[in-house]
C-alpha cells in the first residue's frame, strides 16, 4: 500500500463538471434553480461549455458532449448535493423547481435519516442527473423515506 500524498488540511472539493446534452437548456436550469452566475461560456462548434459561479467562486461547469441523458447503471456520478443555510431556502428552491415541473425523487422535503435534523429535496436536472438541495437543520419532523439507509442513496 502506498503512502498518501502530503496535503494541507484545507483540501476541499473544487468545482464539479457535468456532461449535458443541451447546453442552453442546462444553463437556463442551473442559473434559474441555483442562482449561479455565468463566468464564461462558449457555444462555438463542438466546444460548447459554461462555467458557473457564485460570489466569484467557480462551482459548476457544463460540457455539451453527451448524446444521452444520465444513466444510473454506469459507474460515475451518483448525485450532486448543494447545501444552503436554512430549510426556508430549501423550500424556496422547491417552489422554483415545482414551477419548472421538475421530477422529484421524493415528495417534498425529507430528512437524511430517521430522526436526523438535516434534510432537503431530491430531484433531477433536464438530463436526469440526480441533484439535492439540503439544509443542516430543520428537517427533524420530515419523513425518512429510505428507513435505515441514507435517503440520498437509493432513488
Q: What is the sign of the dihedral through the CA atoms of 35, 37, 42 and 47?
A: negative
Q: Closest by alpha carbon to 78, among 11, 145, 142, 16?
A: 16
Q: How confident is the model at residue 116 (pLDDT cuts 50, 70, 90)?
A: confident
Q: How confident is the model at residue 8 (pLDDT cuts 50, 70, 90)?
A: low
Q: Closest by alpha carbon to 87, among 142, 33, 124?
A: 142
Q: What is the pTM assigned to this prediction?
A: 0.90
Q: What is the dihedral of CA 137, 113, 73, 29, to 10 degrees?
A: -20
Q: What is the pLDDT of residues 22-54, one digit of tens each?
A: 999 999 999 999 999 999 999 998 899 999 999
Q: Between 87-99 and 23-34, two packed helices, what is the crossing angle to 10 degrees?
A: 140
Q: Cβ contacts of residue 132 below 8 Å, gap of 6+?
A: 79, 80, 81, 82, 120, 121, 122, 123, 152
Q: What is the pLDDT of residues 127-144, one digit of tens each?
A: 999 999 999 999 999 989
Per-residue confidence (pLDDT) for residue 146, from 0 to 100: 78
Q: Cβ contacts of residue 19 below 8 Å, gap of 6+?
A: 63, 64, 65, 66
Amino acid at each position: 500500500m502506498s503512502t498518501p500524498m502530503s496535503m494541507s488540511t484545507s483540501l476541499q472539493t473544487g468545482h464539479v463538471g457535468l456532461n449535458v446534452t443541451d447546453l442552453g437548456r442546462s444553463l437556463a436550469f442551473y442559473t434559474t434553480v441555483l442562482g449561479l452566475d455565468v463566468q464564461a461560456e462558449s457555444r462555438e462548434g463542438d466546444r460548447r461549455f459554461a462555467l458557473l459561479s457564485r460570489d466569484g467562486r467557480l462551482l459548476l461547469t457544463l460540457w455539451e458532449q453527451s448524446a444521452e441523458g444520465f444513466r444510473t447503471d454506469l459507474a460515475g456520478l451518483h448525485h450532486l448535493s448543494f447545501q444552503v443555510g436554512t430549510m426556508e431556502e430549501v423550500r424556496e428552491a422547491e417552489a422554483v423547481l415545482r414551477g419548472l415541473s421538475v421530477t422529484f425523487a421524493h415528495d417534498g422535503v425529507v430528512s437524511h435519516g430517521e430522526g436526523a435534523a438535516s434534510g432537503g429535496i431530491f430531484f433531477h436536472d433536464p438530463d436526469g442527473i440526480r441533484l439535492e438541495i439540503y439544509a443542516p437543520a430543520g428537517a427533524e419532523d420530515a419523513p425518512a423515506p429510505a428507513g435505515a439507509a441514507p435517503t440520498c442513496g437509493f432513488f
